[in-house]
Amino acid sequence: MLKIAQISDSHISMDQQYPEFFKAKDQLQRVLEEICRGDYDLIIHTGDVSFPDASEEAYLWVRDELDKTGLPYLITPGNHDDPVLLSGIFNLKDRAPRVILTGAVASKGQSLLFLDSSSERLSIKQASWLKREIESQKDQLILFQHHPPCLCGINVMDTKYPYRTPDFFQKTIADTGRKMLVFAGHYHTEKEVRPDDNLQVYLCPPPIGSISPVADNFETVDTRSAWREIRVENQKMIDTRCHYIE
């Protein structure tokens, strides 16, 4: 069995203009400590590693914290990340790549797909790669990207910060005739969404707390730190759930 800990939207800030995010370091550390107690095989960070913009200092700090866990980990960038800088910090010459922009990675026999959604769009090149990859895959399709490829009923995110090409993404998958599970972040809350018959989307709540689904602005209503657990066995997801730290 493959047991994954998904974290997202850690929003590590080194900028004193954003003091509310200074505690994000402690929140991420607490989540990683709990993950280390949970017998996980792999950590996947689905982006927005730093905030408000890409930061070499923040990336180095997160790299050190992830390395301390002793667990393998993978990262795909979010809209607050710089994919080039992120890759330069995490993808070292003596290690397998840890930042996956667009690609597939095998872990314990299970193929995991990754798309870079830092541009908030599915590009034609990414769509072509995705179709080819799906055609070659016999396992259940499991994809990680920062943005959910659909609206999710969270007011501020749907109206102000949505994925820009949901119809193109959904048509790309529908054209293959396959079903896909998508694990995303970005929306700062736990939710499951089924935009059509081909897609099941799971949102991961962040370490920094969850936001209101109805507020017009970014309003934290649950301060608990969180992550998502995903268990895969015999090339199929058998369970997923979110964990919260009081």
> What are the DSSP E strand ranges found in 41-144?
42-45, 73-75, 103-107, 110-114, 141-144
What is the model's pLDDT at position 16?
67
Residue type, 132: R
CATH classification of the domain holding 144: 3.60.21.10
Q: How many folded domains does the chain comprise?
A: 1
What is the model's pLDDT at position 30?
97
Coil, strand or helix at 241:
strand
Residue 104 belongs to what domain range? 2-245
**Which CA distances in Å does 28 have to 11, 98, 198?**
9, 18, 33
What is the model's pLDDT at position 20?
63
Q: How far apart are CA 107 and CA 219, in angstroms?
A: 37
Q: Which residue, 41, 229, 219, 232, is CA-closest to 141?
A: 232
Q: How far apart are CA 65 and CA 84, in angstroms?
A: 20
Q: How far apart are CA 190 and CA 63, in angstroms?
A: 25
Q: Is the peptide bond before 162 cis (omega within 30 degrees of 0)?
A: no
Under 8 Å CB-to-CB from 200, ≥6 apart: which residues?
Answer: 179, 180, 181, 182, 192, 193, 194
pLDDT per residue rounded down to tens, the chain (246 residues): 999 999 999 999 887 666 666 689 999 999 999 999 999 999 999 999 999 889 999 999 999 999 999 999 999 999 999 999 999 999 988 888 999 999 999 999 999 999 999 999 999 999 999 999 999 998 899 999 999 999 999 999 999 999 999 999 999 999 999 999 999 999 999 999 999 999 999 999 999 999 999 999 999 999 999 999 999 998 899 999 999 998
∠ at Cα 183 (113, 150), nearest 5°?
Answer: 105
**Which CA distances in Å does 56 have to 85, 114, 213, 215?**
7, 23, 32, 33
What is the model's pLDDT at position 17?
67
Q: Which residue, 96, 3, 97, 87, is CA-closest to 42?
A: 3
User: Please, are residues 118 and 95 in contact by the beta-carbon 8 Å criterion?
Assistant: no
What is the model's pLDDT at position 203?
98
What is the model's pLDDT at position 222?
97
